Structure 1
Amino acid sequence: MANQMFCFQCEQTAKSMGCTGGAGVCGKKADTANLQDELTDSLIALARTMDGKDRPEKADHLMVDGLFTTVTNVSFDNESLKGLEEEILRLVDEFNPVVESFDIHGMWLTEHEDIRSLKSLILFGLRGMAAYAHHARVLGYVDPKVNDFFFEGMRAVGSNLDADALLTLVLKLGEINLACMALLDQANTETYGTPVPTTVDLTIEKGPFIVITGHDLHDLKLLLEQTQGKGINIYTHGEMLPAHAYPQLKAYPHLKGNFGTAWQNQQKEFAEIPGPVLFTTNCLMPVRPSYADRVFTTSVVAYPEMVHIGEAKDFTPVIEKALELGGYSEDQSLTGINGGTQVTTGFGHGTVLSVADTVIDAVKGGDISHFFLVGGCDGARPGRNYYTDFVKQTPADSIILTLACGKYRFNDLDLGTIGGLPRIMDMGQCNDAYSAIQVAVALADAFGCGVNELPLSMVLSWYEQKAVCILLTLLYLGIKNIYLGPTLPAFISPGVLDLLVKNYNIHPTTTPEEDLQVILG
């Protein structure tokens, strides 16, 4: 078993069916994949052990961090996975040493396809939601009902529940994830201020610098504090871009701009980079020798032989590497995928709703004909140019709301403005789907209709598990006619897909031309 794996949790899974054999498409080796399955088994044991008991806070932390660790592109390090599993099992033994075990690897291969599909939706959705709960917790924000559902959901994954009961839990997960995204939104805005529209430069100035990637704003704040006055500039990468819009983060003058484009381009863009890269969450790809001495990890992110910054969050090794490498000798004028030299961010619900009257008047006056939410997780599979082409072909009187890393396909385009508002509005990270939901609900209230009656279309890309929990939240809210691509999840069985199509009219993406014609009539 150590040399064989089965994994179908991400969009790039082999042949759109599942990664098997010795390694996954993400670069995860079979022994690592199997250790993550064993870690999942231990989390099910933990959930069973704590059923009906007064859980210690440590159990909640282990549950969240264990689930987060198994998100795609988080941990490639066997030793850290073993250590986390051992810690979980010690707690299980302390409370109930005879708890019944469960084999998740066996479930992938033997469970009835519809049951397996529904359990996969629950498990993968929990993994995505755990990332949001983790980020909120490090800022001191927790929600007991969110923590409770992690345990309820994991017991369900290891249960004999029928399809109807599992489907109920799938939609409940969507409900709880909405609460979890609201919690993280509250944590971020109360800690760092309400995001404001901000233009971010793509030029890298000469001199020492550090690139920080991932999603954890707390890690960025600590890095900014520790580098203050040291002559080191900080550049965001990937999902860290929206950090520039938070007042208490943008106040640091050495938070300069954004480096690189989409996360899946890192092996090329980080090659021989004269500065270190700090990974705070997922989106770590197998590290190549050309920049292996410059990669640092922290939190649950881990990769063999890379320097890991522990709980003390002392970033001295990163800082010393930045000073040693020295950065570029001259300013580097970099561009986005489409040649743009700047991108904007900061159009969260606080900003958009503050100009709601302007938006509503523009719709009523015919200046805005349609809203498109185009965003989600990016990836390397062919076909993702669909999203760039789709945005380029949207009507000139439409607004593009975007979020998550899928925006790197088009966020450097200049599509002009409508009524003083830019046509492309970056709402933030993937968890800021909460902002999009708040805007949609507010517009529906203003026009006296349901969200599904708005001139609003959602065209989403998915890659990993946070996209799964967001999709389940949208389904819980009853939102229909979502376009999803570039491929449908391999873990969705034909029976479950048929259910989603019938109840929610989910559309697989086809071509921009065909989909726009259907959307706009």
Structure 2
Amino acid sequence: MFCYQCEQTAKGAGCTVAGVCGKSPAVSDMQDLLVHITKGISMYAHRAREFGVKDKEIDTFVVEALFSTITNVNFDEDRMEGLIKKAVELREKAKKLYEESCKKAGTSPEELTGPATFDPGTTKTEMISKGEEVTPAKGAEKRGEVIQGMHDLVLFGLKGSAAYADHARILGQEDDEVYGFFHDFLNFLSKDSFELDELVSRTLEAGKWNIRVMELLDKANTGGYGDPVPTKVRITPVKGKAILVSGHDLKDLELLLKQTEGKGINIYTHGEMLPCHGYPELKKYPHLVGNYGGAWQDQQKEFDEFPGAILMTTNCIQKPKESYKHRIFTTGLVAWPGVRHIGPDKDFTPVIEAALAEEGFKEDAPEKTIMVGFARNAVLSVAPQVIENVKEGKIRHFFLIGGCDGAKSGRNYYTDLALKVPKDCVILTLACGKYRFNKLDFGDIDGIPRLLDVGQCNDAFSAVKIAQALAEAFETDINSLPLSLILSWYEQKAVCILLSLLYLGIRNMRLGPSLPAFVKPPVLEFLQKEFNLMPITTPEEDLKSILG
């Protein structure tokens, strides 16, 4: 295997024996194979679309296939085998659509090769062997590390966008042009050779499309559950039976809340589900009692101690300990071998039964709370006060400190930085990186909290809207605002957000705790030259550089 798509990759270069995330070599190779065959689907689908021919099953599958290969989603060989077989089936369907379209138009179809005709085998053993032929390492042997790295930067951005597009689709928000974007880009990535300039151009264009995808998801979340409002969230347990919900999917949480009404079970959020407490149509359920634990990388300890059932709704799962494997469940695209899966009917009865069988929390813990719900509407509602405070010198600077969290050393930087930010500055945060400091008391500036939790990683769209509104109010651009972005990354959703920020022309961002292994020196030099993208150093040095 060879995998370097996440921040924790072995030795900062790539996992070759087994994934640091827990992914087996077999699953890694099968994921590479699935991506390769999915490129083949899009080669045909992209050409069929040029004749106005589209297919919803094909469109949806391509997004789900990409999402299934994101870090910490699907670790199950059998599920991967099923996805590959489905991909082959849909590749044939796409081919037929294209050929029929050509026939109707009176033209001859192209003779496609590469991913369009690649034979993945029919057995799991054959698929694993075939997957070894299409790893990033094999691509680097053919194209060189720099070109392959840029290819993978685009691909990983697509994977992140696919996750957001899938979340939006589940809530009824789709855009046919977005499906066309995925087919277009996967068709482009199916080529044998590339020029660096065209890959750079595609990288920024992927960022542009991801903004549209995040806009769709924002519309899906707020359209279904209302605009988030500032909300106190309990972070200590309440006596009673309990279910813990982790991941990102708001729909799954809503369905679980409905199915557990009146059953005497308290529902807790975990990880990226924390922002759900700010949505009016979710917070209205009285048995959504609070948030338990922190970011995804601490789940083995936290899940072991949680006295109830656990539901994983999207990526973020780690290898479950045997001590709680009997009471953890997956749903959607998430999969771990031996873990019970809730199918598309979303009947959470097994989760409920598991929760009732556990002892639950024996007593209330002393109440402690934190604040969430500072999405763009909430922040912009006090924009006049914020602007006045800036003009009066009460607010000197804004820091956006957020992104993915992880277990790799060096992430204490973000805690130290937040603590060292001067008291006349405001901190915006989002995604699970906030768990590094979101339970600390930062106080306020004239009633405005110094720490504003914007939401999940996809709520970077909200953060950008806040920045754009402030720039408009100050009659300047985002880069001229007293605003600094200090980002932490882990997986591919962070990659697509970074590409979106680059597309918007945002400069002077700091990224850590380490730079992506797939961004090779010539590419890094370009990003530094064009956008002044910088690696983090120390909190003291970075604050001095930012504030003077």
Aligned residues: 510
- Residue 272 of structure 1 contacts residue 290 of structure 1 at CA under 8 Å; is this kept in 2? no
Q: Structure 1 residue 8 and structure 2 residue 7: aligned? A: no
In the alignment, what sits opposite 1:55? 54
Instruction: Identify which of 18, 22, 28 aligns with 2:14.
Output: 18
Q: CA deviation at 1:247?
A: 0.2
Moved over 4 A (4+): none
Q: Structure 1 residue 41 and structure 2 residue 36: aligned? A: yes
In the alignment, what sits opposite 1:405? 432
Instruction: Identify which of 416, 419, 428 aligns with 2:443.
Output: 416
Secondary structure of 2:267 counterpart: strand
In the alignment, what sits opposite 1:213? 246
- Residue 527 of structure 2 contacts residue 533 of structure 2 at CA under 8 Å; is this kept in 1? yes
Rounded to whole Å, the distance in 2 between the matches of 1:266 and 1:108 is 35
Q: Structure 1 residue 445 and structure 2 residue 476: aligned? A: no
Q: CA deviation at 1:110?
A: 3.3
Amino acid across the alignment from 2:239: K
TM superposition score normalised by structure 2: 0.92
**RMSD (CA atoms):** 1.2
The Cα offsets for residues 22-41 of structure 1, whole Å up to 9 and x where unpaired, read as: x1111101001001011111
Rounded to whole Å, the distance in 2 between the matches of 1:433 and 1:363 is 22
Rounded to whole Å, the distance in 2 between the matches of 1:12 and 1:96 is 38
Q: Structure 1 residue 487 and structure 2 residue 482: aligned? A: no
Amino acid across the alignment from 2:20: V
The Cα offsets for residues 332-375 of structure 1, whole Å up to 9 and x where unpaired, read as: 459xxxxxx32211000011111110110110111100000000
Rounded to whole Å, the distance in 1 between the matches of 2:524 and 2:188 is 20
Residue identity over aligned pairs, in percent, reads 53
The Cα offsets for residues 48-78 of structure 1, whole Å up to 9 and x where unpaired, read as: 1212211200011101100100010001001
Rounded to whole Å, the distance in 2 between the matches of 1:211 and 1:67 is 27
Rounded to whole Å, the distance in 2 between the matches of 1:329 and 1:51 is 57
Q: Structure 1 residue 91 and structure 2 residue 123: aligned? A: no
Q: 1:272 to 1:390 in 2, by over 3 A?
A: closer
Rounded to whole Å, the distance in 1 between the matches of 2:488 and 2:134 is 27
Rounded to whole Å, the distance in 2 between the matches of 1:310 and 1:467 is 28
- Residue 38 of structure 2 contacts residue 65 of structure 2 at CA under 8 Å; is this kept in 1? yes
In the alignment, what sits opposite 2:349? 316
In the alignment, what sits opposite 2:127? none
Q: Structure 1 residue 158 and structure 2 residue 157: aligned? A: no
Q: 1:10 to 1:255 in 2, by over 3 A?
A: same
Segments of 5+ residues of structure 2 without an aligned counterpart are 97-110, 116-132
- Residue 308 of structure 2 contacts residue 327 of structure 2 at CA under 8 Å; is this kept in 1? yes
Q: CA deviation at 1:99?
A: 4.8
Rounded to whole Å, the distance in 1 between the matches of 2:322 and 2:194 is 47
Q: 1:385 to 1:305 in 2, by over 3 A?
A: same
Secondary structure of 2:244 counterpart: strand
Segments of 5+ residues of structure 1 without an aligned counterpart are 335-340
Secondary structure of 1:196 counterpart: coil
Spell out the pairing of 1:259-274 with structure 2 (5 A cutoff).
Answer: 259-274=292-307
* Structure having the higher Rg: 2
Q: CA deviation at 1:207?
A: 1.3
Rounded to whole Å, the distance in 2 between the matches of 1:179 and 1:129 is 10
Rounded to whole Å, the distance in 2 between the matches of 1:140 and 1:328 is 36
Q: Which moved more, 1:456-465 or 1:343-352?
A: 343-352
- Residue 239 of structure 1 contacts residue 404 of structure 1 at CA under 8 Å; is this kept in 2? yes
Q: CA deviation at 1:410?
A: 0.2
- Residue 6 of structure 1 contacts residue 108 of structure 1 at CA under 8 Å; is this kept in 2? no
Q: CA deviation at 1:272?
A: 4.5
Q: CA deviation at 1:382?
A: 0.6
Rounded to whole Å, the distance in 2 between the matches of 1:501 and 1:138 is 38
Rounded to whole Å, the distance in 1 between the matches of 2:408 and 2:397 is 29
Q: Which moved more, 1:262-271 or 1:424-433?
A: 262-271
Secondary structure of 1:44 counterpart: helix
Q: 1:108 to 1:260 in 2, by over 3 A?
A: farther
TM superposition score normalised by structure 1: 0.96
Rounded to whole Å, the distance in 2 between the matches of 1:130 and 1:92 is 18
Q: CA deviation at 1:109?
A: 4.3
Spell out the pairing of 1:124-203 with structure 2 (5 A cutoff).
Answer: 124-159=156-191, 160-203=193-236
Instruction: Identify which of 280, 298, 301 aligns with 1:247.
Output: 280
Q: CA deviation at 1:95?
A: 3.4
Q: 1:190 to 1:109 in 2, by over 3 A?
A: same
Q: CA deviation at 1:111?
A: 2.2
Q: CA deviation at 1:378?
A: 0.3
- Residue 46 of structure 2 contacts residue 180 of structure 2 at CA under 8 Å; is this kept in 1? no
- Residue 156 of structure 1 contacts residue 166 of structure 1 at CA under 8 Å; is this kept in 2? no
Rounded to whole Å, the distance in 1 between the matches of 2:140 and 2:462 is 35
In the alignment, what sits opposite 2:541? 514
Instruction: Identify which of 276, 286, 299 aligns with 2:332.
Output: 299
The Cα offsets for residues 86-128 of structure 1, whole Å up to 9 and x where unpaired, read as: 1111011233278523453121443222211211111100111
Instruction: Identify which of 134, 137, 140 aligns with 1:104.
Output: 134
In the alignment, what sits opposite 2:395? 368
